[in-house]
Structure 1
Amino acid sequence: METTTPFTTFTSYDGTRLAFRTLGDGPPLLCLPGGPGRAAEYLGDLGGLGAHRTLVLPDTRGTGASAAAADPASYRVDRLVADVEALRRRLGLDRIDLLGHSAGGSLALLYAAAHPDRLASLTLVTPSFAAVGLPSDTGAEAVIAARAAEPWHPEAVAAYRRMKAARSFAEAAPHRLAFEPLMYGRWDAAARAHAAADEAQRSLTVSEHFYAGYRPDVEALRHRLAAVSCPVLLVAGELDLWPTAAAAADAAALFPAATLTVQPGAGHYPWLDDPQAFTAGVEGFLASGNGITATPSL
């Protein structure tokens, strides 16, 4: 399959026009972006994973090239499951290799619970566990304290406290950039550029509605996820705050047999902190007899 970059659009269940693009070569890997409410552009080629997989990169409704929804309530995480299923159908795949990052991990978990028979594999990269009622910040204060020698630490921690106290994404937004060094393993030029792009790539409307009014049926979700039979990879960053490696280790028990990888020195975007390690880990998982080999209808 040849690499392509233009957006392809399709109509979801309620008539909303959604967009995705493909990047790379090889078997397809459907990648759900997080934020919540950030266009998939920030995923890049996932640290070179596109050299091994055709990355299918959808923009969540209301973000990037996807149209805004007539009903903002459809931005809620559980209702977005229907968009993922609509995209699977558009791709013409009976089963999909699914990757979810951050809040996209919450969406991927809900998709797995609703459509386990449609999954060939599930890769959760530094995912949020909010959708399944589990904490994501277990031990976060210890992770923060371990980075106290960093020159940006006092300002970033102060911004972190303000964001934690914020009552909305809009209220937290002015503090996001100052907080961002805590989300990367290395606060270098690449990390600064990646963080600075957030504001232009994010829809605060989608952010605000993503979890608004959502109350997970924790017992039912855990029961469904415990029955998921496809291979599951859970990638955590050693230095990440949401989720911490400790929270990811606890969440691995949601599945009957999940592989947990904690990437050393990595934050919330492990493909930026060590592209080679990230790509080797994810591709190794996908290539070890897991996943699909079919070509989607793009």
Structure 2
Amino acid sequence: MRFHAADGRVLQAWVGGDPDGCPVAVLHGCPDTRHVAMTGDAAARATGVRLVCVNRPGYGASTPHASTNASVADDLAGVVDELGHDRFAVLGMSVGGGYAVACAARHPDRVAALGLVATQPPGTREEAPEELETEIAPEFLRWRARVDPDDPDDDALCARWLSALPAADAALLAGRTPSEVAASVREALADPSGYLRDATTMSRPWAHGPELVRCPARAWFGELDERARAADAAALLAGFAGVRVTVRPATTHLATLVGHWPEVLATLRDLSG
């Protein structure tokens, strides 16, 4: 599906789950896209949740843009409004957590609950985003070349992608066809600008701190997650009022969400009232 931001930019989205259910808007990780929400479709239908995920600028068909935590939050709120929902929960996966916090902070009368899954604490770099992007780009582009998202061979691209994931995370995607995995990788990496904007944004402090969040908040971490360590939870969660934290035993990064969709969605549904 395609929507439009207030300034006319295209926003590519996926909407699934129960069309009459409690709306939960997912802010995907990096590099990732709306495809991560698709893995929760069955759980969303079973738990009475309408699942929404919007590609950030530069991912898939979403227009590249010098996005910020605030602009992404407002884009998402606009899409949910177009879908006819006044109130909704937000779920930030990994890098998406900072954007989810911004959405809850900027739209306190609309965001009913906040979930953070495998989210890293705010960054500390103070340089301008453009300066950070120049620093990050060479290494990212070398890695992208190894992944080779332009390869038309779905099987080969899928194999390269899965081989780079922890075994537990790769196993969770085994139920998807090579063409589905390849489509997700291409959508995430065809345009480098999406990743680069995310990487610079996560390197800097959040523009909206947790002290601005008024809704109930929950956080989930994986014990074996090296990208968002449970040991760093204190730095991430400082300032939230009464956030409840769950650490999944023997769980890696992607598995913290994809392996536990039903419990995460049911929690946000119940917190949303």
The structural deviation recorded for 1:42 is 2.9
Q: Map 1:272-287; keep pairs closer than 5 Å.
A: 274-275=259-260, 278-280=261-263, 282-287=264-269
The structural deviation recorded for 1:186 is 5.4
Counterpart of 1:181 in 2: which secondary structure? coil
The structural deviation recorded for 1:235 is 1.1
Q: 1:200 aligns with which of 172, 186, 196?
A: 186
Is the contact between residue 266 and residue 273 of structure 1 (CA under 8 Å) also seen in structure 2?
no
Q: Is the aligned partner of 1:27 residue 2:27?
A: no
Is the contact between residue 117 and residue 256 of structure 2 (CA under 8 Å) also seen in structure 1?
no
Superposed CA deviations along residues 4-23 of structure 1, whole A, max 9, x for unmatched, are xxx2x222021112232321
Q: 2:143 aligns with which of 145, 168, 172?
A: 172
Q: CA 1:121/1:11 → structure 2, altered by over 3 Å: closer, same or farther?
A: same
Q: Amino acid of the residue matched to residue 190 of structure 1?
A: L
**Distance across 2 between alignment mates of 1:252 and 1:214:** 15
1:55 alignment counterpart = 51
Is the contact between residue 166 and residue 172 of structure 1 (CA under 8 Å) also seen in structure 2?
no
The structural deviation recorded for 1:108 is 0.8
The structural deviation recorded for 1:192 is 9.7
Is the contact between residue 101 and residue 213 of structure 2 (CA under 8 Å) also seen in structure 1?
no
TM-score (norm: length of structure 1): 0.68
The structural deviation recorded for 1:255 is 0.5
The structural deviation recorded for 1:236 is 0.9
Percent of matched pairs sharing the same residue: 27
The structural deviation recorded for 1:213 is 7.2
Is the contact between residue 185 and residue 265 of structure 1 (CA under 8 Å) also seen in structure 2?
no
Q: CA 1:185/1:279 → structure 2, altered by over 3 Å: closer, same or farther?
A: same
Is the contact between residue 42 and residue 194 of structure 1 (CA under 8 Å) also seen in structure 2?
no
Q: RMSD of the TM alignment (CA)?
A: 3.3
**Distance across 2 between alignment mates of 1:216 and 1:84:** 21
Q: CA 1:287/1:268 → structure 2, altered by over 3 Å: closer, same or farther?
A: same
Q: Amino acid of the residue matched to residue 61 of structure 1?
A: P
Q: 2:228 aligns with which of 239, 243, 246?
A: 243
1:228 alignment counterpart = 213
**Distance across 2 between alignment mates of 1:121 and 1:272:** 17
Q: 2:237 aligns with which of 234, 252, 269?
A: 252
Q: CA 1:82/1:243 → structure 2, altered by over 3 Å: closer, same or farther?
A: same
Counterpart of 1:188 in 2: which secondary structure? helix
Q: Amino acid of the residue matched to residue 10 of structure 2?
A: R
Q: Unaligned regions of 5+ residues in structure 1, if any? A: 1-6, 135-164, 293-298
Q: CA 1:186/1:15 → structure 2, altered by over 3 Å: closer, same or farther?
A: closer
2:150 alignment counterpart = none
TM-score (norm: length of structure 2): 0.73
Counterpart of 1:124 in 2: which secondary structure? strand
The structural deviation recorded for 1:60 is 2.1
Q: Unaligned regions of 5+ residues in structure 2, if any? A: 126-135, 148-159
Counterpart of 1:39 in 2: which secondary structure? coil
Counterpart of 1:81 in 2: which secondary structure? helix
Q: 2:272 aligns with which of 279, 291, 298?
A: 291
Q: Is the aligned partner of 1:117 residue 2:109?
A: yes
Q: Is the aligned partner of 1:128 residue 2:117?
A: no
The structural deviation recorded for 1:115 is 2.5
